[in-house]
Chain A
Amino acid sequence: MTALTANAPSGRRLRVPLSILVIGRVLRFALPYWKGLTITAIAILATAGFAMATPWLLRWAIDTAISTNLVEGETVISITGWLVAVAGLALVGAAVLRGASMFVQRYLAEWVGQTVAYDLRNAIYQRLQTLSFRFHDGAETGQIMVRATQDVEVVRMFINFGGVQLTFTLVLGIGTLAIMLAINWQLALMVWAFLMIIAIRSAFVSRRLRPIWNDVQESQAQLGTVLQEALSGIRVVKAFGRAEFEGEKFGKAAGFLQRRSYDASMVQAVNMPMMTMLGAAAIVVTIWYGGREVVNGNFTVGELTMFLMFLTVLQMPIRGVGWMVMMVPRAATAGVRIFEILDQESEVQEREGAVAPAHPQGHIKFDQVSFAYDPRSPVLGGIDFEAKPGELIALLGLTGSGKSTVVNLIPRFYDVSAGRVSFDDQDVRDWPLEALRQQVAIVQQEVFLFAASLKENIAYGRPDATDEEIEAAAKLARIHNFVQRLPDGYDTWVGERGANFSGGQKQRIAIARALLMDPRVLIFDDSTSSVDAATEFEIQQAMAALMRGRTTFVIAHRLRSLREADQILVLDQGQIVQRGQHEDLLQQGGLYSEIYELELRDQESAQTAEPLEAAAVGGSS
């Protein structure tokens, strides 16, 4: 579960058998598009064939149509007019056919590659959406994003270049080599010696470049982090006068980026001219040796031309061989990282044939429940309580006492380690997940809003809600008036994470969300304390509307909630240490009264001091 953190096997070399296995699995994603792949394969053969046809036709044009011959050092030609015309037409025809098949090859390679990337992204997305909280607790968003973006991209490139283009290059290479060997094996070997050096060199250089590129990418990410932090935290930077310090941090990252980019450029600066030179050297050899052979009569002018043309055609694909070959191990590594996500099984699985009760009431029971992320350090132990439909249960305890964990077990965000949580006398593990979560709504402490309109955010749990329903929920949540004052009303765009809304507004939006869910059970994580007085009052009212007739769990630090609770559960280190109603617990002493003294007494004195309290209670009903 913790595999998805920073120390993931990003640069690790895989063992060969594993690589083959992973590549096989990657290719299985391309399998559904076998039709496209088959056509691509045909197109590859056709393109390679026509690519060889052009030099061949040129040779034929020179040797036959123009019929060039060397007779005692003198060039003698006899031109057959109609043959020349045929040669010209054939050249253009071959080029058109080659163009067409090359187009098909390239397009389909891209098509299949992109489609596989699309499938992978969807698969990753769906997997991530369904994995339980346990997975997300241990995973870093940044790391997952890298897998879903860069690694998917690597796989796509592998299918396109490592697969299709490499095959094309191999077919073309073998084809031309065969022809050249058949015509003049000595020259063919000489020329291919150069081409092989280019190919091997290219593999060698790609291998050298890879760690450099990794560094470049890494340092680009680092630069981005420094930048992002400095800009997001600009007020802190300013408050401490740390502009220079940040500048140095940035400079360090930018310096590393520059050095590694420079290294990459230098490898290229040495390599690229070398490749060009080797290619040109092959031409020199062809002209020098080929010229002699022509003079000696062992080689025709057309054949010499054909050799030269082959060299031109082969040049670029051969140079890319190394890069294409290196796609294979890269894709294997990327594949491992992608499958690490896809192979995660959610511990929370719906039982086969699970059926929800027809009329859920909201009767919640914990039977000797314990829970642990890791068996050695239990988070909850022996939790035992019952909440009857419509009751208000308050949970109180210090940070880390397990309050949130208790409520997260009800909608089955985690599964219990032992014991049983039941909803209407049916184990939550026997409920269909969707039906269960439909009946349990949570208003979180940190409300997450999505980059969508306000309307969509309110209807997030019920996308088919009508405008009227949305508005009714907003009214009950006491957010309607605020929304109406916005220029775009319910269509107001909620920026990234709702940065434009205050905590109190977000909380009421979340309450409206929960109202539309119309659940039987409500969980209200209300430990955020401070909003201004008016907002506090509105939230109280909104909560009252939401709680009506529902079983409610409140993680509360508000005296009002505690007083009204049918049962207060006081948690300490994963155990219920006290339970009962407010007055009883106060009498008992213990943790409850400690917390009361520390945090709640203030509220008490303020309330009793003010005679207006009675009016407020009246107004909120």
Chain B
Amino acid sequence: MGMMGGGMAGGWSSNLGGGGSGPRSSWASSASMSDGWDNEYGSLYNPRLVRRFGRYIEPHKRPLLAAIIANAVFAVAFNIQVLVVYRALQGALDNGVLSELNRIAIAFGVIVAVSWAAEFLRQWLMANVGHPILRRMRQEVFDHLMRLEHRFYDRGEVGAIMSRVTSDVQVLQEMLTSGVLTVIGDIFGLAIIMVVMLIIDWQLALVSFAVLPILIVSMAWWSKRARRAFLETRVAIAAVNSTLNEDLNGVRVVQSLNRESENARRFDRINNWNLRATRRAGLLSAAIMPLVEILIALATALIIVVAALRLSGGSLDEAAGVAAIIAFAIGIQRFFDPVRDLVLQYTMFQRAMAGAERVFEVLDTDPEIEDAPDARDLPDVTGHVQFDNVSLEYVDGVRVLFDLDLEVQPGETVALVGETGAGKTSITSLITRNYEVTEGAVRIDGHDVREVTRASLVQRVGVVLQDPFLFSGTVLDNILYGNLNATREQAISAAAVVGADEWIERLPQSYDTPLAERAQNLSIGQRQLIAFARAILSDPRILVLDEATANVDSQTEALIQQAIARVLRGRTAFVIAHRLSTIRSVDRIIVLEYGRILEQGSHQELLELDGEYAKLYRMMYAAQESVEFDEDAALAVLDRMRERVQANGAAAANGANAGAESNEPALALD
């Protein structure tokens, strides 16, 4: 939308396509609000970035060259029209011979045809070059993002990363599909029209050129202001849309807390900010066209006066003089248009450079974990897992696991217990090599996880996370996510194993029921059961349940517990759970503290040990460390609040009706 002003000033053509392009979907990436608005514009030309573009352009060298030639041909053909008009008029005025007029009309016709062909060729070639380049770039960024590991995502926000792939590439699209060639075309065009004008009458040409500095200076001033104004409109509309989106998602809370009118006021404030920003931008975009028109008229007037002076002085041939006036009247527009256009493109180039910078930044982030060159596939395993003296640092020097030794036998179920930050998830993340160990080794059936391919590794390890993330698509699609080669029957039996088949079949379209956004048409428990089915579909030997039952209600948890009992049979399992009752029956409980194993053993053994686990277990129902504060004082504060509110309420009730009207923004709707 930023170029809307430019589009309007630049003529209708760019509006014709305006419907679909531009960051209309800005609300979707509104999370990126904090991201990059200040880096919206880069330097005009960055040789390093341009060189990198070279790699994308390389395969399209020839069509691109052809497009540039076509562009030059067009510029010549288009601007030479002015010269032809001049000659035609001069001829006609000089001797009134009609045959010459015919010849010139034919010549003109040819030129028009040539410029049509060149222009068509240029646009056709660019469509063929630009879109594939963009597609390639998008795909590369996406594939690269998929290759980056947990460590990268721990840092960044999804919204910010998303805007790299969407809006930043979008800006590059503008530049690639129209920007670059427009600029080249403008430069060609400008050069040629100047030559044409000089040929027709160099003195009149110089007079017209004299207006140019005014145009450039005022355009530069304008563009600087406009840039800021349009940036503000983009930020403002993003704020409007994200507020709307958030309050829509939270509408139930809003209503239960009586926030409607307060929220309406706040929304109005942001909406109003957007209104003011767009009006300011409107002021600027409305100003540019008239300015150019006035300057064109000024130049035309100067030409007439100068021509008239010279005609009356006799220093200018009469026919040539009048023909020149007419030719200049037409040509001056073609002289001003590219200049104005170049100034507008300047801003776009800056945005494109900043966008490119961000895109390449993603591509330059190397994945830290990649398959070793000689990595083999992990063969069928029994599920023996060994942590051999493992240490882990997420950040250099900050250790989260210390010399961990742990051996888990095939078919054994171990539970990891400990406070947040004790290292439970760190341990399970190492099994699928989401992070690289700092020291030591993790082995599955004796194979170091660093020596096997990740693809084969994850196939043997099923993971169920606390947040059962489901993808859009049907219920079946989501179960099949665990194993793309599985049949429908296998998926259904996986669902049956976890006890989900019964309610899935009651869904409107059973397994083919499409899921709403974020699977909100299912309860958390149902989502989690699908995630379970998904995890066991590939029949993994090792299963990781990372707080898999944390978010479900106890009724669903009971169901899941039954499912787990069935699913764990014959598999090695790592279970992380806060609720100790859920892990009482596991083979071995490992109690962690600050990245070290504190104690381990069965539930009964640990209770008898009367150590940390026993303490945790008791605390489950009987925590003693009550938080000390003066409860009566706090209650007294709230009592005073009640009195204050009641007093205010009584006062407000009187003036409420009068006040309510004026407080609401002008919304005389229905």
Contact = CB atoms under 8 A, between A and B. Distances in A.
B322 A136 contact: no
Interface stretch (A118-126, A182-190, A367-375, A379-387): A118-126
Contact of B469 (A221, A225, A233, A534): A233
B484 interface: yes
A554 B124 CA distance: 67
A210 B19 contact: yes
A233 B153 CA distance: 11
A486 interface: no
Nearest to B326: A305
A566 B15 CA distance: 69
B550 A106 contact: no
Interface stretch (A8-16, A76-84, A417-425): A76-84
Given A240-B458, A308-B329, A142 B517 contact: yes
A272 B119 contact: yes
Nearest to B549: A530
Contacts of A99: 290-291, 293-294
B634 A476 contact: yes
Contact of B116 (A106, A225, A277): A277
Majority-rule SS of B interface residues: helix
A150 B24 contact: yes
A38 interface: no
A19 interface: no
Contacts of A115: 275
Contacts of B581: 602-603, 606
Contacts of B662: none
A2 interface: no
Contact of B12 (A212, A287, A316): A316
Interface residues of B, number: 202
A529 B458 contact: no
B638 A92 contact: no
Interface string A71-96: 01111110101001101110110111
Contacts of A532: 419-420, 578
A463 interface: yes
Interface stretch (B186-194, B345-353, B615-623): B615-623
B256 A265 contact: no
Contact of A273 (B93, B116, B287): B116
Contacts of A107: 282-283, 286-287
B474 interface: no
Q: Which size bracket describes the interface of A in this complex? A: 35 or more
Interface in A467-496: 468-469, 471-473, 475-476, 478, 480-481, 496
B308 A81 contact: yes
Interface in B237-271: 240-242, 244-260, 262-264, 267-268, 271
A236 B15 contact: no
B668 interface: yes
B162 interface: yes
Given A463-B262, A513-B257, A236 B552 contact: no
A89 B618 contact: no
Contacts, number: 572
Interface string B83-104: 0010011001111111001101
Interface string A207-238: 00110111011001101110111111111111
B542 to A, nearest CB: 12
A308 B556 CA distance: 80
Contacts of A441: 256-257
B232 interface: no
Interface stretch (A172-180, A578-586, A608-616): A608-616
A494 to B, nearest CB: 11
B131 interface: yes
Contacts of B102: 288
Interface string A11-46: 000000000000000000000100000000000000
A7 interface: no
B621 A603 contact: yes
Contacts of B27: 145, 149
B553 A529 contact: yes
Contacts of B459: 241
Contact of B142 (A110, A250, A317, A613): A250
A516 B293 contact: no
A429 interface: no
Contacts of A111: 279, 282
A23 B444 CA distance: 69
B286 A106 contact: yes
Given A518-B641, A599-B555, A413 B255 contact: yes
Interface in A294-338: 294-295, 301, 304-305, 308-309, 312, 316-317, 319-320, 323
A242 B326 contact: no
A530 B577 contact: yes
Given A228-B158, A613-B621, A213 B297 contact: no
B282 A254 contact: no
Contacts of A124: 244
A305 B552 CA distance: 81
Contacts of A261: 131
A121 to B, nearest CB: 5
Contact of B557 (A65, A140, A518, A529): A529
B330 to A, nearest CB: 6
Given A77-B318, A107-B286, A266 B127 contact: yes
B395 interface: no
Given A99-B291, A129-B251, A460-B253, A122 B268 contact: yes
A597 B272 CA distance: 58
B609 interface: no
A600 B653 CA distance: 48
B135 A254 contact: yes
Contact of A136 (B88, B252, B524, B668): B252
B324 to A, nearest CB: 11
Contacts of A95: 293-294, 296-298
Contacts of A119: 666-667, 669
A598 to B, nearest CB: 5
B354 to A, nearest CB: 20
Contacts of B304: 58, 61, 84, 87-88, 91
Contacts of A76: 318
A317 B579 CA distance: 71
B20 interface: yes
Contacts of A291: 88-89, 92, 98, 101, 105
A284 B109 contact: yes
A240 B25 contact: no
Interface in B608-656: 616-627, 629, 631, 633-635, 637-638, 641-642, 645
A268 B263 CA distance: 45
A460 B146 contact: no
Nearest to B84: A287
B246 A130 contact: no
A196 to B, nearest CB: 17
A529 B146 contact: no
B659 interface: no
B123 A272 contact: yes
Contacts of B24: 149-150, 153, 217
A267 to B, nearest CB: 9
B632 to A, nearest CB: 11
Contact of A238 (B150, B282, B470): B150
* List of 7 A-B pairs having minimum Cβ-Cβ separation, nearest first: A95-B297, A99-B290, A320-B12, A537-B623, A461-B257, A110-B282, A269-B123
Given A323-B16, A606-B620, 19 more contacts: A84-B304, A102-B286, A111-B282, A122-B271, A141-B245, A216-B20, A227-B142, A236-B481, A239-B432, A261-B131, A265-B123, A268-B16, A273-B123, A283-B85, A287-B105, A301-B93, A413-B256, A450-B250, A516-B638
17 contacts: A54-B300, A103-B287, A217-B24, A230-B145, A240-B534, A247-B142, A247-B143, A250-B143, A269-B124, A291-B89, A291-B101, A451-B242, A469-B637, A472-B634, A531-B578, A610-B618, A613-B622
